[in-house]
């Protein structure tokens, strides 16, 4: 179970579309709007985890046309996010919208987030610790996964809000934006490699 928890910490905590965009919302709009967005991310991630656990995601991805549509939508959206981050200028607040994305924005991101599917598949298909009772194991994994997910995402939101308060030099903010954009491009590249 400890190995499972460590895998969750590593897989969920590393930069991906959810945590990077959450940090961006925190930097752009603060805690209140960041928490709303995080609720959407959480609900979307829970839906992805349940789709993976029940096999629905596997069934859906066996339809080549649907798989191609989801892969294209996902890559396009993540590339757009990477572009917005990289060219945000000298402010670490890459989400230039008249209003924050809210719960719906978080739900929609997770629906096409390749990292969410990859992480759920990796952690629920591996790290068996109760092979005699798979239902109980899945329930315990889901509880541990969600508890750690919340803590990790709260940290990323805090980082975004903290960056907002630091009033960093423009060059430092530009470097942070470029680093976040490169991390997002890495997620797109990994998704493309695993799909091939």
CA distances from 132 to 80, 129, 136, 138 (A): 45, 9, 9, 12
| β strands within the chain, DSSP E | none
Note whether residue 11 is domain-resident.
Answer: no
Note whether residue 148 is domain-resident.
Answer: yes
What is the number of structural domains in the chain? 1
Q: Is 141 exposed, middle or buried (0-12, 13-18, 19+ CB in 10 A)?
A: buried
- Residue reference for tokens 């989400």: 95
Cα Rg, the chain, nearest whole Å: 17
pLDDT of residue 112: 83
Taking 50 as the pLDDT cut, the residues of the chain under it are 93-95
Domain that holds residue 149: 2-6+17-195
Note whether residue 169 is domain-resident.
Answer: yes
């Amino acid at each position: 179970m400890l190995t499972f928890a460590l895998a969750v910490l590593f897989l969920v905590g590393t930069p991906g579309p959810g945590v990077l965009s959450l940090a961006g919302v925190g930097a752009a709009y603060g805690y209140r709007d960041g928490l709303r967005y995080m609720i959407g991310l959480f609900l979307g991630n829970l839906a992805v985890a349940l789709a993976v656990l029940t096999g629905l995601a596997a069934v859906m991805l066996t339809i080549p046309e649907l798989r191609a549509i989801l892969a294209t939508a996902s890559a396009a959206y993540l590339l757009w996010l990477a572009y917005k981050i990289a060219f945000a200028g000298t402010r670490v607040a890459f989400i230039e919208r008249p209003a924050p994305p809210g719960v719906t924005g978080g739900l929609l991101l997770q629906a096409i987030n390749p990292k969410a599917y990859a992480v759920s598949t990796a952690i629920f298909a591996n790290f068996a610790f109760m092979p005699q009772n798979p239902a109980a194991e899945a329930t315990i994994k889901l509880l541990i996964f969600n508890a750690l997910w919340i803590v990790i995402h709260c940290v990323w939101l805090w980082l975004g809000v903290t960056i907002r308060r630091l009033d960093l030099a423009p060059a430092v903010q530009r470097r942070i934006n470029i680093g976040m954009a490169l991390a997002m491009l890495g997620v797109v590249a990994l998704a493309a490699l695993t799909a091939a």
